[in-house]
Amino acid sequence: MYSNGKKYSLKIRGNLLELNFPCVMGILNITPDSFYKQSRILDVHSAMERCSTMLDEGATIIDLGAASTRPGSLYPGAEEEFNRLAAVFPELRKSFPDTIFSIDTWNAEVANKMLHLGADIINDISAGELDPAIVEVVAQHHVPYIAMHMRGTPENMQQLTQYTDVVAEINTFFVEKIRELRVAGIYDIIVDPGFGFSKTLEQNFALLKNLDLFMLHEVPILVGLSRKSMISKAIGCNSDEALSGTIAANTIALMNGASILRVHDVKAATDAIAVFRKMT
């Protein structure tokens, strides 16, 4: 295992975000049913407090989601997803004008509306597979795009875990996806292997062990391991008790090339990065 040594930059509304070392994306769930109960935010006041805390703890990006993507979850619909986001985001944008906000959505209509409201990045769990129109939306707005690997939908993804070689097959997926995105005019691309999405426990850890192989795409790698079932199952606990396991997994990810850690617990992740940087 080793440091990636790569330096990337993303164009965000006329400015460059320099990823000279790994950074943290803090999770802000505007949902009643996200898998980790402590992350659920249902009103503007709570969203403001949570966002402020994560920024104080060192988050570089705040990721807003309004539709749970836990295994077996059902999509609430574009109207409900947007209404949840619109209930809190304008005030967040106004109160934190310099903060980079990403929107966790696969729906093109929701993405378009949120980008018009001032969002900076689109984080798509399906990499355009669930709603291909999102690619054109992102291209038109000239914003960075996070393309995550997943098969099927959150409702049925855990029935779609048949791979001959999970690392090789997802790498092939990204080769083709990045080519497609660049042809469409999207150049600021981040890849996410999709831990916990259409993967078994063993496949998740194979991806973590071989994360450095995704560096061949020469784009930032985002890792979302925070309190997921792969951690809970590995150490025999529930999500409330999975922080120490998350820190361990995130540290492995950093050593294997991760550029962005998407987490619930920002301070723990920024501390892990600080320790990691002493080795680079």
| Token couple for 110 | 């929701």
**Alpha carbons 189 and 5: distance in angstroms, whole number:** 18
Query: Please, which residues have CB within 8 angstroms of residue 260's CB and are 6 or more apart in sequence?
Result: 19, 22, 23, 24, 25, 61, 190, 220, 221, 222, 223
Q: Which pairing describes strands 260-263 and 23-29: parallel, antiparallel, or unpaired?
A: parallel
Q: Which residues are catalytic?
A: 228, 262
Q: Which of 109, 116, 89, 91 is nearest to 28 (CA)?
A: 89
Query: Please, which residues have CB within 8 angstroms of residue 271's CB and are 6 or more apart in sequence?
Result: none
Q: Where are the alpha helices (DSSP H) in 43-122?
A: 44-56, 78-86, 89-95, 108-116
Contact 150, 131 (CB under 8 A): no
Angle 134-17-100 (CA atoms, 0-180°, nearest 5)? Answer: 60
* Exposed e or buried b per residue across 179-192, where buried means at least 16 C-beta atoms within 10 angstroms of its C-beta: eebeebebebbbbb
| Token couple for 210 | 């071989």
If you ran DSSP here, which 8-state letter would residue 31 be given?
Answer: -
Q: Which of 148, 247, 233, 244 is nearest to 198 (CA)?
A: 148
